[in-house]
Amino acid sequence: LKDVDAAKDLDAVDAALPSEADERLAAARMFEQLDQFGKAIADLNLWISAHPDDSRQPMALNDRCRARALSGQDPQLALKDCNAALRRVKSAEFLDSRGLVELRMADYDRAIEDYSSALRLDPKNAWSLCGRGLARGHKNDPAGRADLDAAKAIDPTLPARAKALGIS
């Protein structure tokens, strides 16, 4: 019920925002947390269009990449956003997002590479560990089990969340 109430409140706030409002970045992240990826992407589209020279562009591109990756929508567009973000800033968060896109696209070698790079920058990133574990599992690499166990130790709910989103 809390998610339903939160979604209604967020919808009301979102409807009142001007298309270029900075608050759209925060709204997009909240929509993503509520698994309302289409609304997150719509807010990010508006913000990105209205702020082409903003220093937060890489973060917004990554957020749109991640929303697309989590929803399994438009993997080529998601990859384009991730690559654009990573050309400007190399971060564990951005590498993790691109790894997720590559995992969804069944490009397991690249996913493993990006997740490993993300983990060198942030060794306790549960999503990166989970994603690398899943990618390694697809390649029959027994190290995948250790990654999945490490991810679950950090966030016990993550494997179920990934499965619910169709990430396997």
Res 10: pLDDT: 66
Q: With pLDDT > 70 as the criterion, what percentage of the chain qualifies?
A: 95
State mean pLDDT over 11-36.
Answer: 84
Give mean pLDDT, residues 18-47.
Answer: 90
What average pLDDT does this structure show over 18-44? 90
d(CA 35, CA 32): 5
CA–chain centroid gap for 78, Å, is 9
pLDDT of residue 4: 65
List all residues 6 or more positions away from 105 whose beta carbon is below 8 Å from its beta carbon: 75, 79
Q: Has residue 15 got a pLDDT over 80?
A: no
Does pLDDT of 1 surpass 60?
no
Q: Is residue 2's pLDDT more than 70?
A: no
Compute the half-sphere exposure of residue 38: CA atoms within 13 Å on the CB side of its CA: 1
Q: Mean pLDDT across the chain, nearest whole number?
A: 93
pLDDT the model gives residue 13: 76
